[in-house]
Chains A and B, each alone.
Chain A
Amino acid sequence: MSAQTKTIPSGPAAAAMISAGIGGLTIGILTTGAVLSEALKNALVLYVPAGPLSGKTTFGIAVWLLSWLILNALWKNKELNLRSVFTWTLVLLALGLLLTFPPVFEAFEA
């Protein structure tokens, strides 16, 4: 089987993983940010019936895809330490999840 001899660089995997973490963190930052700033909360209302959730998720998805595009272009032929990249991905996802956890973002409420 030809696939058994072909080596695929780890860069594309690293870009896919880290960008997923960046997307998750963005949703988290915007969720807590909307609690801290009334102006940000209002700016995130892209679709009035859904409120700021529409902006948090739209910008989260946009940042995820944009960061993926950029990182993939930078790393597509590179060999990176995937273990380290994966650890960072988990850290970013954990931070994102923490910032979307109600007891955490409610702690910032005035």
Chain B
Amino acid sequence: MVLTAREIWTALHGMVFGAAYLLAFTAGLVGLYSLRESWVTGKGIIERITRLKWETGIMALLSFLTVISGTYIVYPWYRAAPPEGANLLEYPRSFLLADPNLSAWHTFAMEWKEHIAWFSPILTVAVLYLIFRYGPALAQDKYKNLRWMIVILFILSFAAAGVAGLFGALITKAAPIL
């Protein structure tokens, strides 16, 4: 069993950075949802905010690693133009476009994935900043609206990453980077 350098990078992009981001989301969402002074003690709020800072900080890092490795390492292999007479299986974009039954994996799935993915790090960093800036105060009732706004931005960041991740997995199934 041998993985090529391209397969290793593709796995790092999607199955390590991207998947870890998606898995971390639930912990962050639960932490944000339950951050209420009526539910948690003062010490509990401090502990929860510290945990949220670490979780969203790691998620922000993972989301940037995912989009940067995707855009600058994996995507160039995907979109490379094949030389005359080349085996199209080694050129995923051209392989998909050559078959009318598969072309939508590029014209719709990849075209959307490559752009929507970048919304995720932007929104995750905004959430991270708000958690750092407002800290334990977010548990107070007077910041209830802001807390809900953060939850919605966090869900949107996950949704953007989820769309990109899902299409990434499906495109890789249709035309893997070898």
- Residues of A near any B CB (own CB < 8 A): 1, 3-4, 6-8, 10, 12-13, 16-17, 19-20, 23-24, 27-28, 31, 47, 49-51, 53-54, 56-57, 60-61, 64, 82-83, 86, 89-90, 93, 96-97, 100-103, 106
In whole angstroms, what is the CA distance A86 to B37 when docked? 23
The reply on B107 being an interface residue by CB < 8 A is: yes
- Identify the closest chain A residue to B72 (Cβ): A50
Q: List 26 A-B contacts (CB under 8 A).
A: A1-B46, A3-B135, A4-B37, A4-B136, A6-B137, A7-B142, A12-B129, A16-B126, A16-B130, A17-B126, A20-B123, A20-B126, A24-B122, A49-B76, A50-B72, A54-B72, A56-B115, A57-B67, A60-B122, A82-B145, A83-B145, A93-B156, A97-B116, A101-B112, A102-B111, A106-B107
The chain A residue with its CB closest to the CB of B156 is A93
Q: Which of B93-146 contact A (CB under 8 A)?
A: 107-108, 111-112, 114-116, 118-119, 122-123, 125-126, 129-130, 133-137, 140, 142, 145-146
Interface pair A96/B119, CB less than 8 Å apart: yes
Identify the closest chain B residue to A76 (Cβ): B133
B79, B118, B130, B134: which contacts A51 (Cβ < 8 A)?
B79
Give the distance in Å from the alpha carbon of A86 to the alpha carbon of B79 in the complex: 37
Chain B nearest CB, measured from A36 CB (Å):
15
Q: How far is the CA of A37 from the CA of B38 in the complex (A)?
A: 55
Taking CB atoms, residues of chain A closer than 8 Å to B112 are 100-102
Contact B137 A49 (CB under 8 A): no
In the complex, the answer to whether A13 meets B115 with C-beta atoms within 8 Å is: no
Chain B nearest CB, measured from A29 CB (Å): 11
The one of A1, A57, A89 in contact with B71, judged by C-beta atoms closer than 8 angstroms, is A57
Cross-chain contact A82 with B149 (CB below 8 angstroms): yes
- Supposing A20-B153, A24-B122, A102-B107 touch, asked if A4 and B75 sit within 8 A by C-beta, the answer is no
A8 proximity list for chain B (CB < 8 A): 133-134, 137
Count: A-B pairs, CB below 8 Å: 98
B67, B115, B125, B152, most chain A CB atoms within 10 A: B115
Q: How far is the CA of A102 from the CA of B146 in the complex (A)?
A: 33
**A100 x B137 contact (CB < 8 A):** no
CB distance from A9 to the nearest CB of B (A): 10
A4-B114 contact, Cβ under 8 Å, with A16-B129, A50-B76, A106-B107: no
**Cα distance A106–B140 when bound, in Å?**
46
A100 and B116 within 8 A (CB): yes
Contacts of B135 in A (CB 8 A): 3
